[in-house]
C-alpha cells in the first residue's frame, strides 16, 4: 500500500479518510502487480470489463495494428473500417431485430443517449407528453445527470441529488403477484407520459447485485409492449457473457427497442459503448427535417482504437470457449458459496453466471473489509452490504478458489469484529 497522490481525486471515495491506495504497475491474466512486489488476484475484472483477462494478445495486436494507421478520427462526417466492422460484428451476435448502432464513449453516456432517443422518438411521432421513464428500486444506470435520474432515488449512491435531478417513476421489481398488480397500476396510471421502461436484465449490478428471474424479465417486456411503451435494456454490465449467455435478454427470449452496451465491449482495453436500436426506432428519426435528427455526438465516439479492440474481443468469443468457462465459474461459485450462508451475519448468498454475491446484514467499516482482502492477496471491493466477485472468464481454477478462500476466511473475522455492532 502507498499513500495516494495528494492531488488526485479518486472515485467513490471519502478523500478525507483515504490513506492507502495500491499502486498497480502491470497486469497479466487475472493478476495485478503492485509496485511493492505484491500480486493481487483480480476478483472484479477491473469493474467488470476484462472478460478475457488482462493483456489479451489478440486485443493488443489489434490495437497496435490500428494505432499505426489511425488512432482517432472524428465520427462527425467521417466513417472508418473498424466502426463498419464492429457494426457488422455486433449485429451478427445480437437478435436479428436489432438493426442500427450509435456509438458513445462510456456506459453512462450510452444511457443518456438511450433516454434522449426514447424521448425524441415520441416527439418525432408528434407525442409530446411521453417524456418520463419508469425504472426500478436498486437500479443503477450511471453517474451522469440523466442516468442518475433513473437510479434508485432513495437507497442508491445518488440519493443526495434526488431533489436536483429530473424525477422519474420508480417501481419495485415485480417478483410477486402483489408486486405485479402494483406495477401494472403504476404503468396504467402513467402510460401517457412514460417514454420508456429501463431495466438491467437479470442482475441489477451496482445497486447491490439484486437478481430477478427470466420470467420477471419477460413479464416486464410484455407490459411495456402491451402499453405502447419503449423498453430499454441496460446490458452494460450484464452483456458479453457475464450472466451465462452472450446477452442476458437471450435467457428470457425477449428483446428491447433500445439496448445499451459497454464495459466488456472492448475486453477491458479501452472505453467504448454502443446504443443499439430496432429499425422502428431508427426510422422515426428519418426525414428532411434536421430537427428530427438525433443531435448527439461524443467527441471520441467510435474511436478506431476502441473499435479495433471490440472487434478482436468479439472474435475471441467466437474462437474460444468463453461461455463454457463462465458456466464452469458459475458451478464453482455456487458450490463454494452455499456454505457461506451458515456464517453469522450473512443474509443471503446468490450467484448468476460469473457473478457471486454474499449479502451481509451490514458493513460498519467498509475500508477495514477492503483492506483485509488486499492483505489476503485478492482484489475484492465490497460495497453497500455485499461482498461480490465478477472475475475474468479466463481465471484459473486455483485463482478462483483463492478468491473464494479469502471470502470464506474473512467473513468470520468480520463477524467476530463487527457482528455485535450490527
- The answer to whether the beta carbons of residues 390 and 378 sit under 8 Å apart is no
Domain of residue 372, residue span: 321-421
331-355 per-position pLDDT tens digit: 999 999 999 999 999 999 999 999 9
Are residues 393 and 302 part of one domain? no
Mean pLDDT throughout 111-122? 98
Q: Are residues 137 and 220 in the same domain?
A: yes
**Domain end among 300, 319, 338:** 319
Same domain, 283 and 356: no
Query: Is it the case that residue 158 has pLDDT exceeding 90?
Result: no
> What is the reported pTM?
0.97
Q: Is residue 40 one of the residues assigned to a domain?
A: no
pLDDT reading at 292 higher than 80:
yes
315 shares a domain with 326: no
Percentage of residues in the chain with pLDDT exceeding 90? 93
**Residue 417 forms part of a structural domain:** yes
Do residues 115 and 226 both lie within one domain? Answer: yes
What value does the mean pLDDT take over residues 286-299?
Answer: 95
Considering the domain boundaries, does residue 140 fall inside one? Answer: yes
pLDDT interval class at 35 (50, 70, 90): very high
pLDDT, residue 319, reads 98
Domain boundary among 296, 319, 342: 319
Query: Is it the case that residue 18 has pLDDT exceeding 90?
Result: no
Tell me what the mean pLDDT of segment 383-389 comes to: 97
End-to-end C-alpha distance for the chain, whole angstroms: 29
Proportion of the chain above pLDDT 70, given as a percent: 99
Would residue 181 count as lying in a domain? Answer: yes
Please tell me whether residues 361 and 213 are part of one structural domain. no
Q: 133: domain CATH number? A: 3.40.640.10
- 3-state secondary structure (DSSP) of residue 286: coil
Indicate the average pLDDT of the chain: 96
- Nearest 10 degrees: Cα torsion 365, 370, 373, 379: 160
What confidence score (pLDDT) does residue 17 get? 86
Examine residue 51 and state whether it is found in any structural domain, yes or no: no
| 420, burial (CB in 10 Å: exposed 0-12, middle 13-18, buried 19+) | exposed
Task: Provide the β-strand partners of residue 196.
Answer: 133, 230
Same domain, 236 and 379: no
Residue 13 in domain: no
Q: Does 293 lie in the same domain as 283? A: yes
Q: Are residues 136 and 196 in the same domain?
A: yes
Same domain, 228 and 342: no
CATH number at residue 414: 3.90.1150.10
Return the active site residues: 12, 140, 234, 263
Whole-angstrom distance, CA of residue 144 vs CA of residue 372? 32
- Look at the chain and report how many structural domains it folds into: 2
Q: Quick one: 305 and 351 in the same domain?
A: no
What number is the average pLDDT over the span 297-304?
A: 97
Specify if 29 maps to a domain: no
313 and 329 share one domain: no
Residue 98: closest CA among 218, 270, 245, 274: 274
Amino acid at each position: 500500500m502507498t499513500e495516494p497522490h495528494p492531488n488526485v481525486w479518486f472515485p467513490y471515495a471519502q478523500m478525507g479518510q483515504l490513506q492507502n491506495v495500491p499502486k498497480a504497475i502491470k497486469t497479466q491474466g487475472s493478476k495485478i502487480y503492485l509496485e511493492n512486489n505484491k500480486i493481487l488476484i483480480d476478483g472484479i475484472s477491473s469493474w467488470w470489463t476484462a472478460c478475457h483477462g488482462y493483456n489479451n494478445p489478440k486485443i493488443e495486436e489489434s490495437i497496435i495494428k490500428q494505432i499505426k494507421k489511425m488512432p482517432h478520427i472524428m465520427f462527425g462526417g467521417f466513417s472508418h473500417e473498424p466502426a463498419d466492422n464492429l457494426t457488422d460484428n455486433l449485429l451478427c451476435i445480437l437478435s436479428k431485430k436489432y438493426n442500427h448502432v450509435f456509438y458513445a464513449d462510456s456506459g453512462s453516456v450510452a444511457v443518456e443517449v438511450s433516454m434522449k432517443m426514447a424521448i425524441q422518438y415520441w416527439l418525432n411521432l408528434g407525442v409530446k407528453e411521453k417524456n418520463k421513464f419508469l425504472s426500478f428500486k436498486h437500479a443503477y444506470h450511471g453517474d451522469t445527470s440523466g442516468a442518475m435520474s433513473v437510479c434508485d432515488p432513495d437507497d442508491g449512491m445518488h440519493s443526495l441529488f434526488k431533489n436536483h435531478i429530473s424525477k422519474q417513476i420508480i417501481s419495485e421489481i415485480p417478483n410477486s403477484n402483489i408486486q405485479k398488480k402494483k406495477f401494472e397500476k403504476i404503468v396504467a396510471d402513467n402510460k401517457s407520459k412514460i417514454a420508456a421502461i429501463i431495466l438491467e436484465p437479470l442482475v441489477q449490478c451496482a445497486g447491490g447485485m439484486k437478481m430477478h428471474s427470466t420470467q420477471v424479465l419477460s413479464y416486464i417486456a410484455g407490459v411495456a409492449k402491451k402499453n405502447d411503451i419503449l423498453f430499454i435494456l441496460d446490458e452494460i454490465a450484464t452483456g458479453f457473457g457475464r450472466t451465462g449467455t452472450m446477452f442476458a435478454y437471450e435467457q428470457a427470449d425477449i428483446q428491447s427497442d433500445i439496448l445499451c452496451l459497454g464495459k466488456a465491449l472492448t475486453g477491458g482495453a479501452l472505453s467504448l459503448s454502443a446504443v443499439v436500436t430496432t429499425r422502428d426506432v431508427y426510422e422515426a428519426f428519418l426525414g428532411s427535417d434536421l430537427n428530427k435528427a438525433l443531435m448527439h455526438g461524443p467527441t471520441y465516439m467510435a474511436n478506431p482504437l476502441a473499435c479495433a479492440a471490440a472487434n478482436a474481443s468479439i472474435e475471441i468469443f467466437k474462437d474460444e470457449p468463453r461461455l463454457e468457462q463462465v458456466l464452469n465459474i458459475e458451478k464453482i461459485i455456487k458450490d463454494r458459496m452455499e456454505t457461506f450462508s451458515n456464517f453469522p451475519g450473512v443474509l443471503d448468498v446468490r450467484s448468476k453466471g460469473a457473478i457471486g454475491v454474499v449479502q451481509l446484514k451490514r458493513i460498519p467499516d467498509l475500508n477495514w473489509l477492503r483492506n483485509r482482502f488486499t492483505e489476503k492477496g485478492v482484489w475484492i471491493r465490497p460495497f453497500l452490504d455485499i461482498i461480490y466477485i465478477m472475475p475474468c472468464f479466463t481465471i484459473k481454477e486455483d485463482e478462483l478458489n483463492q478468491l473464494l478462500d479469502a471470502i470464506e476466511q474473512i467473513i468470520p473475522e468480520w463477524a467476530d469484529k463487527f457482528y455485535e455492532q450490527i
